[in-house]
Amino acid sequence: MRLSIATTWLFLKNMEYNESAMSIQPVNTLESNLQQAKNAFLSMATLTTAQKDAALEEFAAIIEMNADFLLGENQKDIAQAEQDGLTSSLYQRLKLDAGKISQLVQGIRDLKKLPDPAGQVLSATKLDDGLVLEKQTVPLGVIGIIFESRPDVIPQILSLILKSGNAVVLKGGKEAVLSNQAFMRLVQQLNERCPWLPAAWATLLDSREAVQQMLNYPQYVDLVIPRGSNQLVQSIMAATKIPVLGHADGVCHIYIHPSADLNRATPLVIDAKSQYPAACNALETLLVDEAIAAQFLPGFVRQAQQAGLVLKGCERTQSIVSGLESAADADWRAEYGDLTLAVKVVPLLEAAIEHINRYGSHHTDAILAQDAEAQERFLNAVDSACVFVNASTRFADGFRFGLGAEIGISTAKTHARGPVGLEGLVIYKYKLRGNGQTVSEYVGENARPFLHEAL
């Protein structure tokens, strides 16, 4: 659908306005626009690093200059969401403020400083004299990204797409429709300032129906990244033959080992849960070793409740601290997305590892311990994309990892795992340079031998 960078959403070029439906209906078909996106990718893949970085600097400057406009459109989305019933979790995801805008701008400029992920020679092999094989990184192609609520995702995604030389088809949540459109208007300005960018390198879809149609075109879309609820991810995976990269849940754990520094444990746990409880890397289950449970839990519960946390405890936890809600088996699999935290006492390190691998979502899990052997055992045995020692699970983030930003977080075991930044947006191809060799020369009784020398 031609709700793309090629229009400002206010201009009705190539569009018909359906006044009764109060919506913009594209004249061009979705397939036509996906074809254009594919052609745009072929142009994006040939951009120089200097062209990409110049576009990123322009994008940062445009966002900075239009901060008031972005905040105004976002406030309209919030007002509508409040009428529809706005939860605290949704409010945190939906709201833009000056701080977020500033961080977005800085993130784009930080991304500009990073090496170009495309065009990197991963290996070179001399097969024979005058016959050299290179393995080189290249952009993935057209990437479809479906996300919910958070409008600040759009500039993060677009900056990563720009730097890696890909093309993108976006679909945001209906809660942030005006905010999303506002960001896309700014990209129209970017295209005008950077004529080397093909107009269709970014497209914004306006409906779920358009997403469902897009999933039927693996010949144009090379990868789909859903960012949202388990239901969203599972529905996307079930509906397409296009490869899907992402995570379904964010059930994250912290295990407190007997060797942990308990003075630091409580503020760290509270940070992991309350700093941004709606995030997929927020803590959902706290595991406490029985050797220090009686010592740790009373003080922790008091401070956690003062911080606004709602605690659900296993039977052993409740026997140590009274007055807590009971945790059922379903709580060990729950991604609350709010200030609710499940607490379980476990007999030893191996029980904590078994619990995490059984109930977790393989997203981000941490151990608090001073014992080096316990640290290494946890790091090696927990089957998650991110495994931390003595650090909040909230560090699982592309910006904090120094990736500039992230296109999403993946728990898959494909080409990219964990926070997916620039390196997850490229694949590789083999380039062979010869001077007329034929395979026949290397076959048979008098075959020439291959050298296979690493260069």
CATH of the domain at 73: 3.40.605.10
Structural domain includes residue 451: no
- What parts of the chain have a pLDDT lower than 70? 1-28, 229
Q: What average pLDDT does the chain have?
A: 90
SS3 label, residue 396: coil
Query: 97 and 208 share a domain?
Result: yes
Report how far residue 293's alpha carbon sits from residue 352's, in angstroms, rounded to the nearest whole number: 14
pLDDT in tens, 84-132: 887 777 787 888 999 999 999 998 999 999 999 999 999 999 999 999 9
Query: 186 and 309 share a domain?
Result: no
Structural domain includes residue 444: no
Cβ neighbours of residue 78 closer than 8 Å, sequence gap 6 or more: 86, 91, 94, 95
- pLDDT attached to residue 70: 96
Contact 225, 240 (CB under 8 A): no
Contact 224, 144 (CB under 8 A): yes
Report how far residue 336's alpha carbon sits from residue 383's, in angstroms, rounded to the nearest whole number: 21
Structural domain includes residue 246: no
Q: Which amino acid is at 125?
A: T
Query: 179 and 259 share a domain?
Result: no
Contact 201, 40 (CB under 8 A): yes
Report how far residue 188's alpha carbon sits from residue 207's, in angstroms, rounded to the nearest whole number: 21
Q: List the alpha helices (DSSP H) in 198-248.
A: 208-214, 230-239
Q: Which of 365, 395, 425 is the last residue of a domain?
A: 395
Structural domain includes residue 433: no
pLDDT in tens, 388-417: 999 999 999 888 888 877 888 888 887 888
Structural domain includes residue 233: yes
Number of domains forming the structure of the chain: 2
Report how far residue 266's alpha carbon sits from residue 30's, in angstroms, rounded to the nearest whole number: 52
Query: 101 and 191 share a domain?
Result: yes
Query: 205 and 298 share a domain?
Result: no
Query: 196 and 49 share a domain?
Result: yes
- pLDDT attached to residue 7: 34
SS3 label, residue 381: helix
Report how far residue 276's alpha carbon sits from residue 409's, in angstroms, rounded to the nearest whole number: 16
Report how far residue 166's alpha carbon sits from residue 143's, in angstroms, rounded to the nearest whole number: 7
Query: 235 and 261 share a domain?
Result: no
Buried/exposed code over 229-257 (b: 16+ C-beta within 10 A; e: otherwise): eeebbebbbeebebbbbbbbbbbbbbbbb
Looking only at the bridges linking them, the beta strands covering 23-26 and 15-18 are antiparallel
Instruction: Give the residue numbers spanning the domain of 19.
Output: 15-239
Query: 219 and 275 share a domain?
Result: no
SS3 label, residue 410: strand
**Nearest alpha carbon to residue 151 among 264, 70, 43:** 70
Q: Which of 200, 216, 239 is the last residue of a domain?
A: 239
Query: 233 and 380 share a domain?
Result: no
Tell how far CA 308 is from the center of its chain. Answer: 28
**Angle ∠(31,33,37) on CA atoms, nearest 5:** 115
Query: 69 and 107 share a domain?
Result: yes
Query: 163 and 276 share a domain?
Result: no
First to last CA, the chain: 47
Looking only at the bridges linking them, the beta strands covering 386-389 and 418-420 are unpaired
Q: Sheet with 453-454: list strands edge to edge.
A: 426-433, 131-139, 121-128, 453-454
Contact 298, 320 (CB under 8 A): yes
SS3 label, residue 18: strand
Contact 165, 142 (CB under 8 A): no
Structural domain includes residue 443: no
Structural domain includes residue 269: yes
CATH number assigned to the domain comprising residue 270: 3.40.309.10
Contact 44, 165 (CB under 8 A): yes
Q: Taking the complete model, does pTM exceed 0.75, yes or no?
A: yes
SS3 label, residue 329: helix
Q: Which of 367, 395, 423 is the last residue of a domain?
A: 395
Query: 75 and 132 share a domain?
Result: yes
Q: List the alpha helices (DSSP H) in 86-152.
A: 88-94, 98-113
Report how far residue 120's alpha carbon sits from residue 118's, in angstroms, rounded to the nearest whole number: 6
Structural domain includes residue 7: no
